[in-house]
Amino acid sequence: MTIGLHLSIKKKAWKRINLLRSFKFTLDRKSLEVFYFSFIRLILEYADVVWDNLTQSEEDDLEKIQLEAARIICGATKLVSINILYSETGFQPLSIRRKAHRLILFYKMYHALAPRYLSSLILSQVENITSYNLRNSSNLRNISCRFQL
């Protein structure tokens, strides 16, 4: 990810985390979750399929934002385990969500469910390209052999 984009996402998300923090004592938990999903996670995941070439440091920075939101929503302190926060809120780590988004997009591209300009990036299957007898799934055949023990 370019440094400017990473910093822009971080800066915008932290501003909204501070806003979420200010609502902590006036809104109920469900409303805080709706605020997080609508205004913060939206920023963290927007076009993540495109910019998901993060360094570990950048990944950690984005994950800290989600963990802070989880702490605010649950009313937890910094001493609470990350695993407990995830189980309490039902959130998944952002890296897992980004991977799922990439896999979903690839599925759509492979099965021509994505726009044509994306689907055309996937190479055709080997059986559609060549007539040679290659070892791909459509050209496999059972070979019987006999042996004695």
Rounded to an integer, the average pLDDT of 29-58 is: 92
Average pLDDT of every residue of the chain:
85
Tally Cβ neighbours within 10 Å of residue 16.
19
Q: Which of 41, 42, 39, 27 is nearest to 73 (CA)?
A: 27
Q: How far is CA 115 from CA 46, 51, 112, 128, in A?
A: 18, 19, 7, 21
Mean pLDDT calculated for residue range 72-88: 93
Q: Which two tokens stand for residue 134?
A: 């290659």
Give the pLDDT of residue 52. Answer: 83
At residue 5 the predicted structure's pLDDT band, cuts being 50, 70 and 90, is confident
Counts for the chain of helices (H) and strands (E), in that order: 9, 0
Q: Provide the whole-model pTM.
A: 0.77
